[in-house]
Amino acid sequence: MPRPVVKEITFTLDGREVTAPEGMILVDAANQFGDVEIPVFCYEPKLGQPVGACRMCLVEIEGIPKLQTGCSTPVRDGMVVNTQTQRVHEAQRAVVEFLLINHPLDCPVCDKGGECPLQDITYGWGPGTSRFIEPKRHFKKPLELSPLIAIDRERCILCYRCVRYSQEVSEDYQLVLQQRGADSYVSTFDGHPYVAPFSGNIIELCPVGALTSRAYRFRARPWDIEGAGTICAGCPAQCNVELTVRDERVLRVLARDNENVDDGWLCDKGRFAYQAVHSDERITTPLVREGDELVPASWDKAIEVAGAALEKAGAKAAAIAGGTTTNEEAFLLQDLFRGKLGSSHLATRAGGEQPLDVVRALADPKLQATVPDLEFAHTVLLVDCDPIDEVPVWDLRIRKGVRRHGTKVVVASARPTALDPSAAATLRFAPGGAEAFLVALDAALSGDTGNLGGAASAAGSNATAVSEFADALRAAGEEVVIVYGERALRGSAGRAILNIASRLNLASIANAGILELPASPNGRGLREAGFAAGHGPGFASVATPGHGGEEIAAGLASGDLQTVWLHHVDPLRNYPNRPAWEKALAGAQTVIAVESQLTDTVAQFADVVFPAEAYPEKDGTLTHPDGRVQRLRQAVGHPRGAGNTPGSGVRPLWQVISDVARAVGFDEGAALAGSQVSQRLFEAVPFYTGLTLDAIGGRGLRWQDEATFDVPASEPGALDVPSGLPAKSEAELRLGTFRPLWAAKEVDIAPALQFIRAKQVVELSPADADARGIREGDRAEVGNGTRIPATVRIRAAIPAGSVFLAEGIAEHNSNVLTHGIVEVRRVGPGSTEPSSLPIQSQPAVEGLAEMPPSAGLPIPPREVAE
């Protein structure tokens, strides 16, 4: 829907005329346009409508007898506001004096001391003395509000920010105020610990030291730390963050507001997984296999061995990239493989690629939606994805659109999503049926009844359900944003998405378009930099296309390919069909891995290991799913190797690739500086032309706003109906997988997140569970031949006939199963093993008391209301 129309008005502020948008909150207008700071505690624009709870922002407005709260008063034309009168000063001093009646004044030991709004406002607007001598209130302190957050209840000034966030932004509805009056305190409504995907945001929202990070508590003071702005590379959301650094160590991650990217929020993985950067388990020295063991080696030896293997393999070399690979690393790597080795066997995901014309059309600037469009569009269509797990802050952005602007959400997926309760329409298809669903939806939108029934049946649905879903998609309005997961891009799915976009006329409608959720954090950037089997930089054609992920695995297993470079990617954990990849890596003559941990892939198969940089150590660029090129800035130095030997330790990966290029005699592919690589990338990609690191700056630039590329116009074409679903017996179920937010190697080794590490669960419908005599919490085995154990979760929204397992986890990963049809059977007497460890089992932090008595386990991350 159209953004609000901005109308400028003029009002008087402390005797000066100020021009500001009509309806803007007075506090913001005074600060942004009048250079006047009005103190606030409870007010935070990101929380929505103000509540005027703390009364710190009182101002005098001519024509109104009583003082008014500046945080809840919109500016109007001709308004006369005074913030510096004696009456206002007396009121503000009284509010501060009142707040300090029970505040402990423990600033020298409080973690918020030195960066505390209450401290600053007390010095700036407080009375300096207090008339109250009564004893202050006392609570048992501090308590574990959650395994991540400590709460000092006596410091709380009852601003309601954390409670409002829980109820109005993240919508987990866990935080409430208990008791009344001076005895009020923040707690969860049922006494359980506050466990949710976005719980850490309340630490930053708190204007005092009541809510503090357990991981950061007592680790540093504001005057001995530095702030470093960069990009979180934990998922495709690429949130803007500020790292708190002390002595070359990251101690904290804070949000760096960018409304075009993250709206100022972070998920808990992005906020707390930084601890993996300084883990003792990190690989910090090159490793080379000698016999059956990996042994530390010098950089010169590791580069020599890798260069010799690549030179020998030539066109039979392949590379796979993912994780935190930057655009510059991808560009150099593809240049080495294509320019010197003559190989286009480059992949960024397990499956095959879409045809080049489809890839180009899906990247057409006219079709690209932006993150703010998720908030303002009439309708958001989610296809085979769940933002809460894949791009968490998008979940908050979509909820904001539903809550504030009436955005309609329609969901089509095999597995229930966290946004289902907010959806105007939902449709379930069978696991693996996304391609058939998209073909059926295209048929429904075009009125092609001939294809509709067959495609809907192939998806595990029916023509009536798909037609009703198409009607719901059109009902809200013409501005539609289609968000689809990369896993949906199989077969003719890409063409179906283009057909759907054409039938909805998205290319010619503002605030509408498509957004792809790539499988890796920089999936879009890798492809635009040319790291793909079917095209070069800027989607340029290549003479000889190479193999995709599945074909690379088959080629390594058969001997058609000899050497593989794994750049920030672990196929044994993150790719389907682990047995095929084990066979592939075992068959490879040389496996070169860029990795930070001793994973199964590294330990069993790697011949050369280059230590990987963590994202706070990187310098380069990433490309957001909406096309925004953003800059990674180095915040901490690279760790040294064992014994701090000069010349050892982690090196910039652009330098490693350049050194390997020199080792194979490809001097044209070498570089002398990271900025030089960036410049070469910008020159090689036509639509990046004109970009510079300075222009990208701290906010990033969408290249679609400055450049374009030609995509031939085409009319929607007829699509073949995909093949139907494989047959199954009554005792069997169709297997689907999902990747939990917490399924990441960084989570596995971050001490603060051990309680939430992803463990294998099997999600069943009540009907399928009853038919097998399975109850919630039982232990079960899932498989067909190969079986894996899992804890049972029964979800009412799971369609009968389907079962879901977690992928990408460290133990009992679903990728060991190679059949889409499985059996589920109960084993043992029933298990009490939870999916998350109870809070009491966490490592104790000195000085923290136990949480108030609570029954059961921590509340799991937000799930669908069922």
The span from the CA of 260 to the CA of 255, in Å, is 13
Residue 835 confidence (pLDDT) above 60: no
Q: Buried (b) or exposed (e) across 499-537, using 16+ Cβ within 10 A?
A: bbbbbbebbebebbbbbbbbbbbbbbbbbbbbbbbbbbb
Contacts of 55 (CB under 8 A, 6+ apart): 69, 91, 95
Segment 53-59 mean pLDDT:
94
Count CB-CB contacts under 10 A for residue 719. Answer: 21
Residue 838: band (very low, low, confident or very high) from pLDDT cuts 50, 70, 90: very low
Tokens of 76: 């109007």
The runs of H, that is alpha helices, within 380-448 are: 387-390, 392-405, 434-446
- CATH of the domain spanning 733-841: 2.40.40.20
Residue 647: band (very low, low, confident or very high) from pLDDT cuts 50, 70, 90: low
Whole-structure pTM value = 0.93
Closest to 553 in 3D by CA, of 591, 524, 521: 591
CATH architecture of the domain 287-350+522-619+649-670 equals 3-Layer(aba) Sandwich (3.40)
The span from the CA of 469 to the CA of 425, in Å, is 7
The span from the CA of 677 to the CA of 682, in Å, is 9
Backbone angles phi, psi at 412, to 5 degrees: -125, 115
Instruction: Answer yes or no: are the C-beta atoms of 741 and 392 closer than 8 Å.
Output: yes
pLDDT of residue 852: 36
Residue extents of the structural domains in the chain: 8-99, 139-278, 287-350+522-619+649-670, 357-517, 733-841
pLDDT in tens, 791-803: 999 999 999 999 9
pLDDT in tens, 506-519: 999 989 999 999 99
Closest to 814 in 3D by CA, of 553, 431, 430, 478: 431
Written as one letter, the residue type at 352 is G
Segment 733-755 mean pLDDT:
95
Segment 835-854 mean pLDDT:
33
Tokens of 704: 């679609």
Segment 554-570 mean pLDDT:
97
Q: Is the dihedral of CA 539, 622, 650, 749 positive or negative?
A: negative
Query: What's the fold here for domain 139-278?
Result: Alpha-Beta Plaits (3.30.70)
pLDDT of residue 856: 30
pLDDT in tens, 89-126: 999 999 999 999 989 999 999 999 999 999 999 999 99
Count CB-CB contacts under 10 A for residue 573. Answer: 20
Segment 817-834 mean pLDDT:
77
* % residues pLDDT > 70 (the chain): 95
Cα 72 to its chain centre, rounded Å, is 33
pLDDT of residue 840: 28
Residue 2: band (very low, low, confident or very high) from pLDDT cuts 50, 70, 90: low
The span from the CA of 469 to the CA of 475, in Å, is 10
Task: Return mean pLDDT, the chain.
Answer: 91
- End-to-end CA distance of the chain, in Å? 30
CATH architecture of the domain 8-99 equals Roll (3.10)
Which superfamily does CATH assign the domain made up of 357-517 to? Dimethylsulfoxide Reductase, domain 2 (3.40.228.10)
Backbone angles phi, psi at 300, to 5 degrees: -60, -45
